[in-house]
């Protein structure tokens, strides 16, 4: 199980974190990834001017908005999760 933390701090919230949560949960459901990926809200993650900010383990994904959320999910976040899962499983 990998957790994706979506920043709900005020700067990111204003840039659409709620919408990002919606988009990510749709894509997770669509790909039957509910058993592998858990979405969580987070307090401010730090780099507020680069929001919306999302964190998986120690990796930050920045500048996410409702328009690019799906692209970032499939091109950056999913490959990263696969990579860390591969490392954990040896």
Q: Does 51 bind ligand FES (CB under 6 A)?
A: yes
Candidate list 12, 20, 21, 23; residue touching ligand FES; CB under 6 A: 12
Is 75 in contact with 29 (CB distance < 8 Å)?
A: no
Residue 10 CB, nearest approach to ligand FES (Å) = 6
CA distance 88 to 90: 5
| Residue partners of 71: CB distance under 8 A and separation at least 6 | none
Residue nearest to ligand FES (CB): 9
Interacting residues with ligand FES (CB under 6 A)? 7, 9-12, 44-48, 51, 53
């Amino acid at each position: 199980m990998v957790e994706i933390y979506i920043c709900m701090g005020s700067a990111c919230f204003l840039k659409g974190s709620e919408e990002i949560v919606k988009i990510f949960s749709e894509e997770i459901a669509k790909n039957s990834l509910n058993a592998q990926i858990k979405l969580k809200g987070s307090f401010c993650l730090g780099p507020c001017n680069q929001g919306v900010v999302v964190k998986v383990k120690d990796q930050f994904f920045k500048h996410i908005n409702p328009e690019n959320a799906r692209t970032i999910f499939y091109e950056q976040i999913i490959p990263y999760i696969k990579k860390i899962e591969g490392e954990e499983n040896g």
